[in-house]
Every structure is written in C-alpha cells, then in structure tokens.
C-alpha cells in the first residue's frame, strides 16, 4: 500500500472531524462518561480492527481513548488508515 502525501492526508482529514496529522500518523481522542464505556467502545473497535487486519496504536486513561493510525509497512499514512478511521467514527457515532 502506497504512503499518502501530506497534502493528500490533510485533504482527507477535512472529512474526519477531530482527527489530525501528527508525527506521521492520523490521531484523535474521544472522551466517554466513564472507564466502562470507554473500554466497551475499545472492544467494538478491536473487532473491527481484526476484521480489517489493521491495528491502531492506542491508549486508554480512565474515560479517554486516544487513537493513532499509520501503516508500518508503508512508513506513513495510507488509505488503509483512513478506512479504519472511518469505521471507528461509525462505531463512535452508533454509540
């Protein structure tokens, strides 16, 4: 999979509210009511990641979930990252 240019990444980010390009990855954070809600969403995201065969760098501190996406093989951001980001947004929006 081909690494996207910074210009292409910035253009695609216009369609993903709350995501930004930082240190060679696209990143966002979500806040939830409590830890249980955050972990529940992480579990749903984990199943989608497995289905797509693409896995985020992420962390959870109490009610905050931080997600960073890049494609290690391409050494940068690819279409694969944007596909997963859109799926994550769908999971968050359905919550």
Q: What is the pLDDT of residue 1?
A: 84
Does residue 49 register a pLDDT over 90?
A: yes
3-state secondary structure string, 38-85? Answer: HHHHHHHHHHHHHHHCCCCEEEEECCEEEEEECEHHHCECCHHHHHHH
Q: Give mean pLDDT, residues 43-64.
A: 97
Q: What are the structural domains of the chain?
A: 6-94 (3.30.1360.20)
pTM: 0.94
Q: What is the pLDDT of residue 66?
A: 98
Place of tokens 């749903």: 44
């Amino acid at each position: 999979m081909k690494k996207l240019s910074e210009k292409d990444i910035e253009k695609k980010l216009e369609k993903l509210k709350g995501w930004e390009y930082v240190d060679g990855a696209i990143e966002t954070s979500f806040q939830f009511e409590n830890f249980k809600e955050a972990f529940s969403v992480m579990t749903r995201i984990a199943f989608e990641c497995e289905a797509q065969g693409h896995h985020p760098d992420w962390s959870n501190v109490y009610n905050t979930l931080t997600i960073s996406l890049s494609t290690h093989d391409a050494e940068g951001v690819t279409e694969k990252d944007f596909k997963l980001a859109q799926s994550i947004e769908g999971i968050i929006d359905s919550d």
